[in-house]
Amino acid sequence: MNGATRTATAAAQRSVHASLTGHRHRSITATIFVAFIMLSTAVGLISLAVLLFTVLQDGLPYLDPILFTNGPSMDPNIAGARPAILASVLMAVVLVATALPVAIGTAVYLEEFAPKDRWWIRLIELNIQNLAAIPSIIFGILGLAFLVRGLGLGPVLLAGALILGLQMLPTVIIATREALRAVPATVRQGGMALGATRLQVVRREVLPAAIPGIATGSILGLSRAIGETAPLLMVGAATFVSFNPSLLSQYTVLPILIYQWIRLPQAEFQGLAAAAIIVLLVILISMNGIAIWMRNRYERKW
Amino acid sequence: MDAQSDSAEHQRPTGIHLDAAAVAHPAVGGSVAPMGRETVFDCQGLGVRYHGTRALRDVDLQIHSHAVTALIGPSGCGKSTFLRCLNRMNDLIPGAAVDGACLYHGENLYGPDIDAIEVRKRIGMVFQKPNPFPKSIYDNVAFGPRVLGMKDSLDDRVEQALRRAALWDEVKDRLKSGALGLSGGQQQRLCIARALAVEPDVILMDEPCSALDPISTAAIEDLMMTLKNDYTVVIVTHNMQQAARVADITAFFSVDQGETGPRTGVLIEVDATDRIFTKPANERTEAYVTGRFG
Amino acid sequence: MREGLQEELDELCGGIQEEGRLTAHAVAEATRALVDWSVEAFEATLAAEVEVTQGYLLTEQRVESILARQAPVASDLRLVLAALHINRSVERAAHNAVRVAHLATPPPRRALVEEAVITDALRAMGERGAEMIRTAMDAFERRDANATRLLSTLDELVDRENEKIADTILAIDITDPELRQWASRMLFAGRWLERVGDHAVNVAERVTYLVTGEAMGRPGEGA
């Protein structure tokens, strides 16, 4: 190899080296962008941390057995949240028994069986999307007019549960449809090609495959309903209930009790409200935890 | 076709078994329809439209038992559409309409009294991408027999199907583990086993190897050669060499570009695979197999 | 893996082996017809050659089919190419046997010593030729790359017998027309039998190519 060639080769190597090592200092826009998204994340995390810290600081001293065993009282020393906790649990049970089957059924029909090119199906789909965007207070007004007064149910737990269920429907329907859509079309084709009917394919393959998604969506919808206040205020959830609730009795629920306690002047009630918030948070977090656990469990299995 | 509810009594039409050499070399006989093989499908003027747009027209094609028939052709030539006509999978596509006749053992699959579900029990299908159900290996194979009510000696049925699909030895110790844990090639053989478990008469394969590596492809191709001893096998493949390797009969589809109308799939030529790849009769076939077109 | 191709290759080789067996038989029978004037051997030669020709055509068709359908590569490709050549050599050898058989004529008994020398040489050539075909086919069966050397040596012996025939014919009295006619026929017979040996060597060379991938005299290849 002569001198000239060697020089040329070395130059080529340098240029390859330069192009591969690239520019160490990325543009200023990129740096700003990264800083912005990190800041955004920090805002959320810090607010949450402050909130949790304050609630725990205020509420932990009041988190005692009395809170779970006693009914409400004007004396903060003996006031408890038992009827409200029980009502919230009962409400969850009613929601699971009524709203979930309806929502999942609707989603399965729309996703697997409905003729998608018909105008009335598209109208239904559009309305479900819209329902999800309606403010919860409107559901409360509907419940008041239709269930409490129209059907004459009165301000009972069942009426509250039904209206929460109605509000929950679009969320669960949309989540379930997403879960069903995530099941590959090839699974359906595979089943149909074996001579299975559409119903058999949905029941044996599609639904089981979609369960993690459906469960996650359902539990998230449910936990949102359990934390809901506004529509229940409209359909007449009482603020002072000292007896254990039943389906057709007056009732109060945790969020409403918290709302009531916070409005009272005594400092002790502020603490009690914080304690009730902790209870509500634990319930909601465990429900979300179950959702995450179910999703992971199914994902790990397959 | 009578709706046979008792599928255990379902009889596969028994063709005369040829000796291996004659099956492997249909071209030596020089005939498209070798002696001893019966006509399973007889398509007469078969065509398909999607939302009124013609995708396939006037296919006259006979498919014979105990042979591998390959459908080849460029993209959009309607070969997959045609395959889906054979077990009425096109019914599942909104807007698809089939015209002409497709006789299956003399019975028109598109006749007024025909139940598509019954058709699909007899004519199994394997898809382009392996699509095992997210269940155990065992449950995948048992799916068909279970939904069709063939519940007697299910274990034997599953084992038989896995053996025929040349997968038994690889999975016999982990039948209860998830099917999605298998390799792509194993998954595709599982899908074949799943189709075999309902004792079909015909196996349709829609580009069964296009998602697989060469080793798995070779395994599936070997399997096709074995399967034709007991079944009628029809494959769609975009890989001409695959058709050349495994098929006894090859049908070449192509696209007709109308002056104003849409592109329509047509059957150009069907012949013994040896002839298609050595001296095709139609110049369009020649242009395609030599790689000068498509 | 690729059982289909393997099956077809096995069939191809099986067919060629059968051709080889028939060709060796044809050469032996032709020699018997030539030197023992056996009509039965003459007919056996023709019958064997007809079969070889059929086998030749079938093999050619198989090669065509394998190339068109299986796209063989590496050792499979070499096998198919070698098969094509071997098929041709074997068929040519069988054809030579027929030519030899057609030359069968009893000696005129005018030069007894020379006639005996020539007949013995032809018999030796024929027997050796048949043996060489068998050896070459055996080498093909066993993928024995070393048979070329052995067969080349044998071929030299055949050539030497052929030269001996030519020398002997030169030594006899050619003025006798009957003797001259017989001698010229035997000269041709020797020539065709000598070609049989060459074909056997060709077969062995193709086997060497099949095994090693190296063909003698190919440009751009080592030594």
* Residue boundaries of the structural domains of chain C: 3-212
pLDDT band per the 50, 70, 90 thresholds, residue A24: low
* pLDDT in the model for residue A236: 73
Cα first-last separation, chain B: 40
> What are chain A's partners, defined as 3 or more CB pairs within 8 angstroms?
B
B220 and chain C: CB distance < 8 Å anywhere? no
Distance from CA of C5 to the nearest CA of B (A): 8
* pLDDT in the model for residue B9: 40
* pLDDT in the model for residue C170: 87
The answer to whether B274 contacts C71, with C-beta atoms less than 8 Å apart, is no
pLDDT cut 70: percent of chain B above it: 86
Q: Which of B92, B131, B136, B180 to mutate to test the interface with A (most CBs of A within 10 A)?
A: B131
**Cα dihedral A284, A287, A292, A293 in deg (nearest 10):** 140
How many Cα neighbours within 13 Å face the side chain of B164? Answer: 23
pLDDT band per the 50, 70, 90 thresholds, residue C171: confident
The backbone torsions φ and ψ at residue B255, rounded to the nearest 5 degrees and listed phi first, read -110, 130
A117 and chain B: CB distance < 8 Å anywhere? yes
The backbone torsions φ and ψ at residue C109, rounded to the nearest 5 degrees and listed phi first, read 60, 50
* pLDDT in the model for residue A132: 86
Helix (H) or strand (E) holding A170: helix A157-182
User: What is the Cα–Cα distance from B108 to B85, expressed in whole angstroms?
Assistant: 11
* pLDDT in the model for residue A39: 94
B47 and chain A: CB distance < 8 Å anywhere? no
Return all residues near A227 (Cβ < 8 A) that are at least 6 apart: A255, A280, A284
The answer to whether B89 contacts A189, with C-beta atoms less than 8 Å apart, is yes
**Are the C-beta atoms of residues B213 and B184 closer than 8 Å to each other?**
yes
User: What is the Cα–Cα distance from A62 to B203, expressed in whole angstroms?
Assistant: 71
Looking at residues C190-200, what average pLDDT do you find? 96
Helix, strand or coil for residue A19? helix
User: What is the Cα–Cα distance from B56 to A154, expressed in whole angstroms?
Assistant: 64
| Kind of pairing between the strands at B39-50 and B96-104 | antiparallel
* pLDDT in the model for residue C113: 86
Instruction: Give chain C positions within 8 Å (CB) of B225.
Output: 3-4
User: What is the Cα–Cα distance from C15 to A15, expressed in whole angstroms?
Assistant: 62
Return all residues near C105 (Cβ < 8 A) that are at least 6 apart: C37, C181, C182, C185
Instruction: Give chain A positions within 8 Å (CB) of B143.
Output: 191, 194, 196, 204-205
pLDDT cut 90: percent of chain A above it: 23
Instruction: Give chain B positions within 8 Å (CB) of A205.
Output: 133, 143
Q: What is the pLDDT of residues A243-291, one digit of tens each?
A: 788 888 888 888 888 888 888 888 888 888 999 999 999 988 888 888 8
Give, as one character, the DSSP assignment of residue B91. Answer: G
User: What is the Cα–Cα distance from A22 to B272, expressed in whole angstroms?
Assistant: 58
pLDDT band per the 50, 70, 90 thresholds, residue C204: very high
Looking at residues C183-202, what average pLDDT do you find? 95
**Are the C-beta atoms of residues A63 and A278 closer than 8 Å to each other?**
yes
* Long-range pairs for A113-122: beta carbons < 8 A, 24 or more residues apart: A113/A198, A113/A202, A115/B94, A116/B94, A117/B94, A117/B95
Which of A84-98, B82-96, B193-207, B259-273 is least confident?
A: B259-273
Q: Which of B246, B277, B279, B290 to mutate to test the interface with C (most CBs of C within 10 A)?
A: B277
Buried b (16+ CB within 10 A) or exposed e, A186-208: bbbbbbbbbbbeeebbbebbbbe
Q: Which of B124, B132, B135 sits opposite A193 (nearest CB)?
A: B124
Token pair of B1, please?
Answer: 């076709």
pLDDT band per the 50, 70, 90 thresholds, residue A187: confident
pLDDT tops 60 at residue B30:
no
* pLDDT in the model for residue B294: 53
The answer to whether C68 contacts B278, with C-beta atoms less than 8 Å apart, is yes
Distance from CA of A198 to the nearest CA of B (A): 9
The answer to whether B244 contacts C71, with C-beta atoms less than 8 Å apart, is yes
Token pair of A27, please?
Answer: 């543009």
Residue among C142, C161, C45 nearest C101 (CA): C45
The answer to whether B273 contacts C69, with C-beta atoms less than 8 Å apart, is yes
pLDDT tops 60 at residue B18:
no
B244 and chain C: CB distance < 8 Å anywhere? yes
CB proximity under 8 Å: A 50-89 to B? none
Helix, strand or coil for residue B291? coil
User: What is the Cα–Cα distance from B183 to B258, expressed in whole angstroms?
Assistant: 44
Distance from CA of B203 to the nearest CA of A (A): 10
pLDDT tops 60 at residue B35:
no
Looking at residues A126-154, what average pLDDT do you find? 87
Map chain C to HEC letters. CCHHHHHHHHHHHHHHHHHHHHHHHHHHHHHHHHHHCCHHHHHHHHHHHHHHHHHHHHHHHHHHHHHHHHCCCHHHHHHHHHHHHHHHHHHHHHHHHHHHHHCCCCCCCCCHHHHHHHHHHHHHHHHHHHHHHHHHHHHHHHCCCCHHHHHHHHHHHHHHHHHHHHHHHHHCCCCCHHHHHHHHHHHHHHHHHHHHHHHHHHHHHHHHHHHHCCCCCCCCCCC
pLDDT cut 90: percent of chain C above it: 76
Distance from CA of C82 to the nearest CA of B (A): 20
* pLDDT in the model for residue B29: 36
Mean residue pLDDT across chain C:
92
The backbone torsions φ and ψ at residue B123, rounded to the nearest 5 degrees and listed phi first, read -120, 95
| Kind of pairing between the strands at B263-272 and B249-257 | antiparallel
Instruction: Give chain C positions within 8 Å (CB) of B21.
Output: 11
Mean residue pLDDT across chain A:
86
* pLDDT in the model for residue A26: 63
* pLDDT in the model for residue C223: 42
Instruction: Give chain A positions within 8 Å (CB) of B202.
Output: none
Looking at residues A97-102, what average pLDDT do you find? 93
Q: What is the pLDDT of residues C142-167, one digit of tens each?
A: 999 999 999 999 999 999 999 999 99
Which of A72-81, A269-278, B204-213 is least confident?
A: A72-81
CB proximity under 8 Å: C 9-38 to B? 11
Domain assignment present for residue B33? The answer is: no
Domain extent, residue B154, equals: 38-289
Residue among C53, C22, C16 nearest C141 (CA): C16
Return all residues near C73 (Cβ < 8 A) that are at least 6 apart: none
Instruction: Give chain A positions within 8 Å (CB) of B95.
Output: 117
* pLDDT in the model for residue A101: 94
Q: Which of C1, C2, C8 sits opposite B24 (nearest CB)?
A: C8
Looking at residues B218-247, what average pLDDT do you find? 91
Return all residues near B108 (Cβ < 8 A) that are at least 6 apart: B101, B102, B114
Mean residue pLDDT across chain B:
84
Orientation of helix C177-212 relative to helix C112-142, angle to 10°:
20
The answer to whether B245 contacts C69, with C-beta atoms less than 8 Å apart, is yes
Length of chain C: 223
A189 and chain B: CB distance < 8 Å anywhere? yes
* pLDDT in the model for residue A102: 95
The model's pTM: 0.74
The backbone torsions φ and ψ at residue A183, rounded to the nearest 5 degrees and listed phi first, read -75, 120
The answer to whether B127 contacts A302, with C-beta atoms less than 8 Å apart, is no
pLDDT tops 80 at residue B236:
yes
C177 and chain B: CB distance < 8 Å anywhere? no
* Long-range pairs for C169-174: beta carbons < 8 A, 24 or more residues apart: C169/C114, C169/C118, C171/C114, C172/C111, C172/C114, C173/C110, C173/C111
User: What is the Cα–Cα distance from C187 to C118, expressed in whole angstroms?
Assistant: 9
Comparing A2 with A136, which gets the higher pLDDT?
A: A136
Q: Which of C11, C69, C71 sits opposite B274 (nearest CB)?
A: C69
Architecture, CATH, for domain A66-301? Orthogonal Bundle (1.10)
* pLDDT in the model for residue A136: 87
Q: Which of A117, A184, A194 sits opposite B195 (nearest CB)?
A: A194
Q: What is the pLDDT of residues A196-215, one digit of tens each?
A: 899 999 998 899 888 888 98
Which of A193-207, C41-55, C82-96, C197-211 is least confident?
A: A193-207
Q: What is the pLDDT of residues B36-90, one digit of tens each?
A: 678 999 999 999 999 888 899 899 999 999 999 999 999 888 999 999 999 999 8
**Are the C-beta atoms of residues B18 and B34 closer than 8 Å to each other?**
yes
* pLDDT in the model for residue A230: 83
The backbone torsions φ and ψ at residue B125, rounded to the nearest 5 degrees and listed phi first, read -140, 140
Q: State the CATH number of the domain containing residue B70.
A: 3.40.50.300
* Long-range pairs for B168-173: beta carbons < 8 A, 24 or more residues apart: B171/B137
B235 and chain C: CB distance < 8 Å anywhere? no
Chains A and C touch (3+ CB pairs under 8 A): no
Which of A233-237, C84-88, C154-158, C194-198 is least confident?
A: A233-237
Instruction: Give chain C positions within 8 Å (CB) of B241.
Output: 69, 71
A205 and chain B: CB distance < 8 Å anywhere? yes
Comparing C175 with B282, which gets the higher pLDDT?
A: B282
| Kind of pairing between the strands at B39-50 and B53-64 | antiparallel
Total number of domains in chain B: 1
* Residue boundaries of the structural domains of chain A: 3-62, 66-301
Most confident of A21-30, A234-243, B271-280, C91-100: C91-100
Instruction: Give chain A positions within 8 Å (CB) of B119.
Output: 195
* pLDDT in the model for residue A299: 62
Q: What is the pLDDT of residues B116-153, one digit of tens each?
A: 888 998 999 999 989 898 889 999 999 999 988 888 88
Residue among B249, B276, B245 nearest C76 (CA): B245
Opening angle at CA B225, ends B222 and B229, nearest 5: 140
pLDDT band per the 50, 70, 90 thresholds, residue B19: very low
> In CATH, which of 2.60.40.420, 2.60.15.10, 3.10.20.310, 1.20.58.220 is domain C3-212?
1.20.58.220
* pLDDT in the model for residue B11: 41
Q: What is the pLDDT of residues C59-83, one digit of tens each?
A: 999 999 999 888 898 899 999 999 9
Instruction: Give chain C positions within 8 Å (CB) of B218.
Output: 1-2
Q: How many CB pairs under 8 A join A and B?
A: 76
Which chain C residue has the Cα nearest residue B289? C68
Q: How many CB pairs under 8 A join B and C?
A: 46
Distance from CA of B269 to the nearest CA of C (A): 17
Looking at residues A140-153, what average pLDDT do you find? 86
**Are the C-beta atoms of residues B26 and B34 closer than 8 Å to each other?**
yes
Amino acid at position B25, single letter? H
